[in-house]
Structure 1
Amino acid sequence: MNTTTSAAADARALRFVALLATYLQSANLPLPNAALRLIQGSLSMTDDQAGWIFTAYLAASAITTPVAQWLAGRFGLKLVYQTALAAFATGLWLVTLADTPLTFIAARILQGLAAGVLAPLSMAIAMETLPAARHQGFGPKWTALVLFGIVSGPSIGGVICEYFDWRPMFYLSLPLTAYIFMVVTLLLSEKKAAQRPAFDFFGFASFTLGMIGLQMLLDRGERLDWFDSPEIWIEALASALGLYLFVVHVLTRQVHFLSKGLFADRNFLCSTAIFFALGFVLLSTMALTSPMLDEILGYPPDTTGFLTIPRGIGLVGAFLLMGRAPTRIDPRLFVVLGIALVVYANWLMLGYSPLMDWTPVAVSGFVQGAGLGMLMPALSKVAFSTLEPQLRPEATGFFNLMRVYGSTLGVAVVQIYFFNNTQSMHSALASQLTPYRHSLPTSPPALEGLNHLITHQAAFIAVMGQFKILLVAMLVVSPLVLFLRKPVAAN
């Protein structure tokens, strides 16, 4: 009896630290969001480099996520997991030591590489500690935890930054990571595959080359004046070549790291496309909202962080209610309602004004969170219910990978349009101020203040333009709901 009780306690402890690791790796992604102004000032970081704070982490995690299970099978789950935890902690420590934009981004890349391994292996460890009967409903809960980490990270970072500095907010994760490492070392038994696992490295490499080339093109294009730069041509050609080789590889080979059965399932394809758009909207909304509050409207970091809490409350509340929804209700109805709420939230954001208080931000964030909390479990149920059981583990990895790529590409796209629109709006506003139409100040301090005011107005108008892009992104994928088949009973 004592042995059984001890085994159950060990399983609960492992499940807890696996979920804690899942939360940490997702919360650290947007953790600097509320403190961007302080990080930029401390490191002399330009506005376009600030976007790399997020895209470096996301793109790096997208590289290692697909290969995590192979690494665990080849070298052992425990060893790979411990290595990823050590790398994650090292990345946290190096971020606090960074004194230039390059060293800061390099540390974020290391964090992202480790996070890409931690996320799927944490899920695998948690699944092993659960009875088989509870496996079916665990995927949506795990995804909800990831999203909760994303929406709650800025509030934690904002509070710490307001009362201390931006570096201590990264220290917070170090003792928690050490605790996870200790529990895993003591309780997790080593497991390797009986035979050396196979992995389609060519398919993985070509897909990664295509996506990372595209990411680098979007991140670096504005700084290098796009195709006037040889580097941008190289990145564009690398992206086109990688995606071309991947498509040919999928069409001509029977076995590759993405099974053809995934592409034959209409529900899974449509749901994945919607999930990609959801990732495009979620992190991009946060990447726009926090700088708008912090840099344009002048909110302190803790208030900026606190205004992400309503989004988290809406997400968790809607998710818990979805768990009590009657099974006889078609989940496609919840997919429609979830998309409608996300679209409505982005429409509310178009009504932001420089004269507003915090209420519109909190309301739109809550509505968006409620939409996400409703959409996530419903979309997961629709996506996986028609898949063959043997395809579901692979499908889960690809499904979440598309959210990551949606987020990283979304941040890059809104950054590009934000800077372009800010410059064009600044020119348009300034062109209306001439000595022949207005009584303008002539002293240098007054002119500097006027230019500062115009820049703020132009930046705010540009932010509104980016919210329109995010609204359109959700509207574009919303017709895919019409192609979803009614989910079948779980196998």
Structure 2
Amino acid sequence: MSTPLPSVAAPRGHHALTVAALMATYVQAVNISIPNAALPHIQASLSMANDEVGWVFSSYIAASAVTMSITQWLAGRYGRKVVYQYAVMIFVVGLALNTVAMTSIQFVLARILQGLASGPLAPLSLAILLEVTTPPRHARVSLAWTVCSLLGISSGPAIGGWLSEYYGWPSIFYFSLPMAGFVFLTIARQLSEKRAERSQTFDFFGLTTFSVGMIGLQMLLDRGERLEWFASTEIWVEAIASVVGFYLFVVHVMTRKEHFLRTALFKDRNLVLSTVISFALGFVLLPTLALTSPMLEELLNYPVDTTGYMTIPRGIALVGALVLTSLVPAQVDYRPFLIGGMTLVVYANWLMLGYSPAMDWRPVVEAGLLQGAGIGMLLPALARAAFGTLDPKLRPEGSALINLSRLYGSTIGIAVVQLFFYANTQAVHIALAKNLTPYRVAAYMGGSIGKPELAALNGMVTRQAATVAVIDQFDILMFAMLVVIPLVFFLRKPRPAG
């Protein structure tokens, strides 16, 4: 007769800490997308140019990726409680600075500060959740953590659209203040301090060179069109910084045994392939929101709050598919779920290519619902693929690598679609307007036409060109997911159940 294992009691105050950790996860995620539907109000208030809109998202995400990389070192060096509290305080300062920003540069700087503070919140929240719950509940609490993160990203546009329409765009940042206050007080009262007995070393040179390479590439893509590419000294500086940063990082990785991304991670085929797929997933996840809301608001004249509401089915389908797929037994092969999720995402983006100025809300909701279901199916299957063959000792770093790839995929994706959007808008405008002259227009209209009428016609052509350019960007997102589908066939089979 077997002896039952002794139960492990949860620490005191674990209920409050669980709520606080999940709330912090939600808050840092919802602030990624909450400005999405409110962008017309923010642009009008801050005189923000159209090609600066992508910075609202990419600045937050890129800054978050940098501090997320050093979270483990910070917690070991200074203590997780101290790091967590300072992160929440700086996050609140970023929220306040967003509301008082008077220019687009001030707003972007505040978003960068927010992003820097948000980086440690998600990984430390998960670590706290796993500590305050008993081992049999770890799978369930990890799922709850993932759901809160995705729910934050999915619900952000609806909340931001409604608040900005009725209470002004600064209210979208006031929304997070009460929750941040609750998290700070709960952590201060309930969480015990924990830090490493020995100071851990961290590869700051590797992180710095990699970050310089990524930031240089990001700025190059964001600013290139406005500054006429290599006719500008700034673009040359950013290009050189990116090339030198990536070069030094590659040399550093090849010549040192230990760095902030351990070489052992890249010896696991499943993890490497899953990282590439995760990058493609990030490339699709947030750029879709960054394209859809401006299209609905500026080109199809939907109210800001209605635009936000139209993202709700996508979020519901995403969370629902995530939960259902996570409940599938571990013995079931995950690869059909990967292929099924990718197929749904590709099909949804193919439906988006059929958008037109004459459509109603149904095609947008249908495509969003299918894309959300595909992403929700893909995420848990991708986690099983990445960690099913990975050494358990490497799983924390593997998780960080997967998250970083998804974050950088989103930032690069936003930059790429913005870049091609403005280039395509100009090309389509030239193609449509080349015959728009006073004499030819007057001939077709059966009378003379003046400059005001011609300007109105030019506005119509510009709107049509922008609509065509937006729809063309969904083709890029579809291709990004389509090209990684064959990688699924190179993943190793799941290990048989023990």
- TM-score bracket, shorter-length normalisation: over 0.9
Give yes or no for the alignment of 1:474 onto 2:474.
no
Give the gaps of 5 or more residues in structure 1.
none
Which segment is superposed worse, 91-100 or 241-250? 241-250
For 2:209, the aligned partner's letter is S
In the TM superposition, what is the alpha-carbon distance from 1:8 to its structure 2 partner?
5.0
Distance 1:6 1:325 in 2: 28
Distance 2:186 2:32 in 1: 24
In the TM superposition, what is the alpha-carbon distance from 1:29 to its structure 2 partner?
0.8
Distance 1:489 1:65 in 2: 34
Structure 1 segment 67-216 matched on structure 2, within 5 A = 67-136=70-139, 138-139=141-142, 141-216=144-219
Structure 1 segment 53-64 matched on structure 2, within 5 A = 53-64=56-67
Distance 2:405 2:87 in 1: 22
In the TM superposition, what is the alpha-carbon distance from 1:331 to its structure 2 partner?
0.5
Which segment is superposed worse, 362-371 or 140-149? 140-149
Q: Which residue pairs with 2:460 in the alignment?
A: 453
1:220 aligned residue (216, 220, 223): 223
In the TM superposition, what is the alpha-carbon distance from 1:5 to its structure 2 partner?
13
- SS of the counterpart of 2:37? helix
Q: Does the aligned pair in 2 maintain the 1:144–1:376 contact within 8 Å?
A: no
Which segment is superposed worse, 438-447 or 123-132? 438-447
Q: Does the aligned pair in 2 maintain the 1:270–1:484 contact within 8 Å?
A: yes
- SS of the counterpart of 1:59? helix
- C-alpha change, 1:97 and 1:5, in structure 2 (3 Å) is farther
1:187-242 Cα shifts (integer Å, max 9, x gaps)? 01111110011111111111111111111111111121111111111111111111
Distance 2:12 2:366 in 1: 41
Q: Does the aligned pair in 1 maintain the 2:10–2:133 contact within 8 Å?
A: no
Distance 2:20 2:353 in 1: 40
1:293 aligned residue (283, 296, 310): 296
1:354-397 Cα shifts (integer Å, max 9, x gaps)? 01110011011000010011000011011101000000011111
Give yes or no for the alignment of 1:276 onto 2:283.
no
In the TM superposition, what is the alpha-carbon distance from 1:300 to its structure 2 partner?
0.6
- SS of the counterpart of 1:45? coil
For 1:88, the aligned partner's letter is F
Q: Which residue pairs with 2:3 in the alignment?
A: none
Identity of aligned residues (%): 57
Distance 1:193 1:94 in 2: 34
Distance 1:78 1:183 in 2: 11
Q: Does the aligned pair in 2 maintain the 1:385–1:489 contact within 8 Å?
A: no
CA RMSD of the aligned region, Å? 1.8
Q: Which residue pairs with 1:312 in the alignment?
A: 315
2:348 aligned residue (342, 345, 349): 345
Q: Does the aligned pair in 1 maintain the 2:91–2:114 contact within 8 Å?
A: yes
Give yes or no for the alignment of 1:439 onto 2:444.
yes
1:433-454 Cα shifts (integer Å, max 9, x gaps)? 3423653562333223212211
Distance 2:191 2:108 in 1: 33
- SS of the counterpart of 2:399? helix
Distance 2:455 2:99 in 1: 34
Distance 1:252 1:384 in 2: 27
- C-alpha change, 1:251 and 1:385, in structure 2 (3 Å) is same
Distance 1:186 1:400 in 2: 30
What TM-score do you get using the length of structure 1 for normalisation? 0.96
1:239-269 Cα shifts (integer Å, max 9, x gaps)? 1111111112222211111111110111111
For 1:343, the aligned partner's letter is V
Give yes or no for the alignment of 1:402 onto 2:405.
yes
1:244 aligned residue (247, 252, 274): 247
Q: Does the aligned pair in 2 maintain the 1:140–1:377 contact within 8 Å?
A: no
- C-alpha change, 1:144 and 1:273, in structure 2 (3 Å) is farther
Q: Which residue pairs with 1:33 in the alignment?
A: 36
Give yes or no for the alignment of 1:465 onto 2:472.
yes
- C-alpha change, 1:255 and 1:133, in structure 2 (3 Å) is farther
- C-alpha change, 1:327 and 1:217, in structure 2 (3 Å) is same
- C-alpha change, 1:9 and 1:439, in structure 2 (3 Å) is farther
Distance 1:7 1:398 in 2: 30
Q: Which residue pairs with 1:336 in the alignment?
A: 339
1:83-128 Cα shifts (integer Å, max 9, x gaps)? 0000000000110001111111111110010111212111211121
Distance 1:398 1:143 in 2: 16
For 2:434, the aligned partner's letter is S
Distance 2:83 2:497 in 1: 32
Distance 2:209 2:193 in 1: 32
In the TM superposition, what is the alpha-carbon distance from 1:6 to its structure 2 partner?
11
In the TM superposition, what is the alpha-carbon distance from 1:141 to its structure 2 partner?
4.7
Q: Does the aligned pair in 2 maintain the 1:26–1:150 contact within 8 Å?
A: yes
Q: Does the aligned pair in 1 maintain the 2:331–2:496 contact within 8 Å?
A: no
Which segment is superposed worse, 321-330 or 362-371? 321-330
Q: Which residue pairs with 2:385 in the alignment?
A: 382
Q: Does the aligned pair in 1 maintain the 2:318–2:376 contact within 8 Å?
A: yes
Structure 1 segment 8-23 matched on structure 2, within 5 A = 10-23=13-26
- C-alpha change, 1:490 and 1:245, in structure 2 (3 Å) is farther
For 1:436, the aligned partner's letter is R
1:327-361 Cα shifts (integer Å, max 9, x gaps)? 43211110010000000110110111101110011
Which segment is superposed worse, 34-43 or 250-259? 250-259
- C-alpha change, 1:244 and 1:479, in structure 2 (3 Å) is same
Distance 2:15 2:174 in 1: 26
- SS of the counterpart of 2:32? coil
Distance 1:135 1:426 in 2: 55
Distance 1:489 1:157 in 2: 46
- SS of the counterpart of 2:258? coil
